[in-house]
Amino acid sequence: MLSYQHAYHAGNFADVQKHLTLYAVVDYLLRKKSAITYIDTHAGRGLYPLGTKETQRLQEYREGIWPLWQASGQLTDPLLNGWLATLGSAQPHASELTHYPGSPWWLSQPLREQDRLTLFELHPGEHEHLSTQSLPPQAQRIYGDGLAGLSELVPVTTPRLCVLIDPSYERKAEYQEVVDAVTYSLAKVRHAVLLVWYPLLPAGNHHTLLNGLRESGIRKIWRSELHRHTPNEQSHGMYGSGMLVINPPWGLDERLAAAMANITPLLGSESDYRSEWLVGE
């Protein structure tokens, strides 16, 4: 039985890294007119009111999006300012942060007439919430397993493919399942751009994902991590967040490094951002 509900964590530091990376990738892809198919394998609710009892229970957004929002107008990075301005359009009142949008919102906003978006969600309650969200006609929601669904959809009919893979990793087996899904998808669509989020936990299970992809034969995998603090023997929960981008757009690493230089000082003195090529250049 799936138990994970992202509402408890909406707007946290991992969301900041994940959605800023997604925004930067999509912004680059839109420079060309050819159609794009977007696939979100673990969509969640789509939009998270910060005042709900779930989000208020942990209030993780106060150590994520909240300090960035408070600093709006003082930040100098163009990518970050563009992302925050887009976030503002999700608010009923632009000057007040009351909602945090999930990946379905970030992917649906820039959809053009020629593009397509498929959103998978397996948790029944989360899918019910997603079904209430307003989406453009080019988007479809599917109640089902996103990794299995991705394998069924490739190859796609559009010239380009962009996939976000963002599991909860409730089961250790998911790390290898992601490796298998990525490898299969790239065998079908060699130039697809795939984004994979992973948590940094003291158990270190993310190494199954990283090692599996290193050994997969995939040629270009870029990796970034946002660390909130250094883990120790007493650490519990997520100490950091990781993103992999396979076939990353040109200049992505530099654009994100500049944005993160504005972000990390706002997240605490121990916050640290680092990036490298896991495989490739």
> Among this protein's residues, is 272 annotated catalytic?
no
Structure tokens given for 85 = 């301005």
Partners of 224 in beta bridges: 243, 275
Helix (H) or strand (E) holding 276, with range, is: strand 272-279
User: What residue ranges in 129-246 does DSSP mark as E strands?
Assistant: 139-143, 160-165, 193-200, 221-227, 240-246
Distance CA 91, CA 87 (A): 7
Q: Round to whole Å and give the CA distance between 105 and 126.
A: 14
Cα maximum dimension of the chain: 52
Tokens encoding 225? 């991590």
- The beta strand positions in 130-189, using DSSP E, are 139-143, 160-165
Catalytic entry in 15, 77, 115, 166: 166
The pair of three-digit structure tokens given for residue 116, joined into one six-digit string: 């397509």
Write the Ramachandran bin of 145: left for phi over 0, alpha for psi from -120 to 50, otherwise beta: beta
Q: Which residues are catalytic?
A: 166
